[in-house]
Structure 1
Amino acid sequence: MVDGTRCRVIHDDGTPCTRLTHNALSICQPCYKWSWRRGGTDPNGRPPARGQKGEADFLAALTAANASLLEERYLGYKVPHRVRCIEGHLSRPTPGRVQQGKNICSSCGGKPTAEQAWLDFQNIVHQAGGVVLEVNWLGSQKPHLIVCRKGHEVLVRPAHVAYGTKRRKRGICVTCAGRDPKAAEAHFDRALADRGAKRIEPEWLGSQTPHRVICVKGHDCMVWPAVLRSGQNICMKCSGRDPEVLADTFFARLDDLGVKLHERRYLGAITPHPAICRKGHACAPRPSDISRGRGACGACKGRIWDAIYVVHDPTRGIVKPGITSGDPRPRLSDHERAGFNRLVCVYTGLADRAAFELERKILVTLDAAGIKPVQGFEYFPDDALPIILDLIRNHSHI
């Protein structure tokens, strides 16, 4: 018989041994109730029932941790118990979770109870010379009204105060630390004046909102106060990051290379711009590549993307589509050394950029089907193989 499922006491008072079913077990009802109310062994000297053993283990864990039980009696292994640890923190551990190895004190374990968090917050403010004006605990993420030692009435979040006090060694008052809106606005104006700039925004919009500013050279720009604190240049035109400046630089470089755009319109730094190179090849240079000196035409560089292949790693169950230029054997050898030793298919001699466009179509289709890469951008599970092969075989250039 399992402990706690049979009678353990000779009922001298004549109490009948009525049976009940608990957790699919037949238990003596008087013994079951008795086992949760007393400690030690029963009058016959037998081991304690399950309830008594849980109580003994819980009390032993509290003794080992030098913690004190504040409850008048044991409430059960699933019921939280009020406990005060050796550091004086209040917590409500559950005996069952303590038996699983969880912390007895939530404050020492990093997550204090509401009562302890309220006491810790009041203690931090008192040690800093301030006074908490709130009467009740509102939560660790709710602003609480306090008065600092200099008389500033400010709203602070207890979680921010606890984190800043322990890790960043900063005070509790945002006004004294220069982090309130008025102090942030004054700091922003001073930083602009040091750079010869001037704010033309009539109102303070916050540290995370851009403000209209005129730089030292008279350029209109938008400046984030939070970015200004990091020391970055405030004017995109002066730093060469303005879209109009980038567009002019891009167009001038293409003119030097003899590349003619289909439409002389700037689409963004990383967007391909359809064009014709000096030798008549269709290409689509990106401004970011041009600025890095990578050239405008892939055909002139030998990167014509005229081959597409699919390789498979049977061991890991990964399939990879890929494209290359010219002879695909060197690229396939690299994949074979990486474990992709099964060649599913390979097609060469495709039209200009046909393989590139087909690969983009495969990736977009798999994403729409909810098949996500298991590694990088082009490594997919085996479920993607039928879709990949269907797109390749039905392509007009295959």
Structure 2
Amino acid sequence: MIGQLHSPSAMAAFRTLIVGAGLGGLMAACSIRLESNHAVIVLETAARLQEVGAGIQLTPNATKLLLRLGLAESLASKVAEPVSFTFHRYSNGGVLGHRANYGAEMKEKFGGPFWDTHRADLQMALYEKAQELGVEFQFGARVTAYDFSKPTATLATGETLEGDLIVAADGLWSLARETFLDHPDPPLPTGDLAYRIVLKHAGITDPDLKRFIEKPSIHIWSGPHTHVIYYNIRGGTMSNMVLLAPDNLPPEVARAPGDIDEMRAIFKDWDPILKRFLDMVSSVDKWRLMHHDEMTSWTNDQSTMVLLGDACHPMLPYLAQGANSAIEDGVVLGRLLAAVRTREELPGALRKYEKLRKPRSSFMHNYAENQRHVNHLPDGEEQQKRDEILEKEFDEPGEDYPYYWLNPQMQEVIFGYDAYAEVDKVL
């Protein structure tokens, strides 16, 4: 049956069904309502928003958009702004690269702060803002089928919801993507997995570790086929660590409990400080890192469905741009849809969305592969050349600097991007 609450006669102006209450879907919902009176209904499989995931890095290209949305106050106590960024030799912790006053520098250069936070904190802030803006939510709403010709989404309960457009923000395992392609399309393994660790500072008594966590900071250790990134979250009261290592999960498993001894064995010859952090870990999961091949198009011929975020361009994690890219998508798509008044205007709006977003996502997908290579160099000639550049450009990173976080050219390309301004150019 068609849900009466969402029947065409109840439409305020233009009605969008957003499938998925992740960061991209929520940002799209907020952006539509911020600039229009269109009806927005978000369908979320989970019964309620829960604290899932771990830390994420929000770079100026995304934080500028969050500030525009008015989230500064709600996020103030949840984020940590790094005072420094340091690259380490994996074996002894030796400093290969360092940038003091990193957060302040990024804010001055690009007009937005560099924030480290927990994904759940950002999701909740976006959810509360969406509610404030009048977005409607249905939780426990698992979509089991689509009919893009109408378009409709049918739930596991049998209820069918109809709108003018379906925005599929349903993630890596997107049913909408497979329906659009008309064949199964499981995500592909990258060859890496991630151990994700969150430690409360209140439980840290080791004096060396206490000095290490004293101020919010970012640290990266690069090693053979493996690297580790560390940063602080929740106002600097917790440490988040992501350990990237070769994938050894069974083919059919995407996430599983990790063996602590196995994890520590991988890093047994690494920086003693890092190993002391790992000695504090009591349990850990390991996650297979996966992606998809690039898509030709993100929308169907009828312009009744469009994909967003991981559903169309899952970001490899080596640039830490997955969340940032989904936020950009949400703003671009949301603002374009806010300007739409009838279904006849949809094709033009969705073409603009693809034109603005596809080249950038394709570039970052490919550049992430390059960063992965740099991060995981085994000891040898290429690693030595990398470290020579780091030493030579220690004080003033140049355009050949191997880590994009400090490379001035790549900072400009990634951090300097303004999704809001890009939409203004085409509206």
TM-score (norm 2): 0.15
Q: Larger Rg: 1 or 2? A: 1
Compare relative contact order (CA 8 Å, sep 6+) and give the higher one, 1 or 2. Answer: 2
TM-score (norm 1): 0.15
Q: Whose helix fraction is larger, Structure 1's or Structure 2's?
A: 2
